[in-house]
Amino acid sequence: MCDIQSFKIDDTPKRIIDLILTSFRQHCKDPVTKDFVSFKYGQIQVHKADYIFLAFSNKFTRTGKPITTVCGFLLLQHLKLQNEAYIDVVCSSSKGGIGGKLIKQAEHFAKNDLRCSVIKLSALSHVLQYYKKKA
């Protein structure tokens, strides 16, 4: 089971960005590249996103040490002038509909917290049918 937590980009702890970077290839398939999420000159460069939604699970080793596993993530832009939210990237290779859960949580956040009237998303051609079913 994975929990979902959102972070404002400027307030995202470095360990969260590190978790996303180390699990990037596992969750994001080509042609999504690490250009969307990277460190450059010590600063977080998360494309144009304003928020990160991270799906994760916490487990413990036999010695009690916590281990956080990334189940997926979503990057969200808040386009204030247009009163819109834009889902920039959704990456999840986990079973259990984690990508859909991330999208639902981002939609809820955009409508209720950001008060956006429109939520947009662009999709790669190989996942277009998935999003059409959700519309």
Domain spans of the chain?
3-134
Nearest CA to 105 out of 80, 122, 85 is that of: 85
40-72: per-residue pLDDT in tens? 434 444 557 899 999 998 888 899 888 888 888
3-134: which CATH topology?
Aminopeptidase (3.40.630)
Q: Show the CA angle centred on residue 78, arms to residues 119 and 40, nearest 5°.
A: 125
Q: From residue 125, give the alpha-carbon distance in Å to each of 31, 53, 100.
A: 10, 23, 17
Predicted TM-score of the model (pTM): 0.77
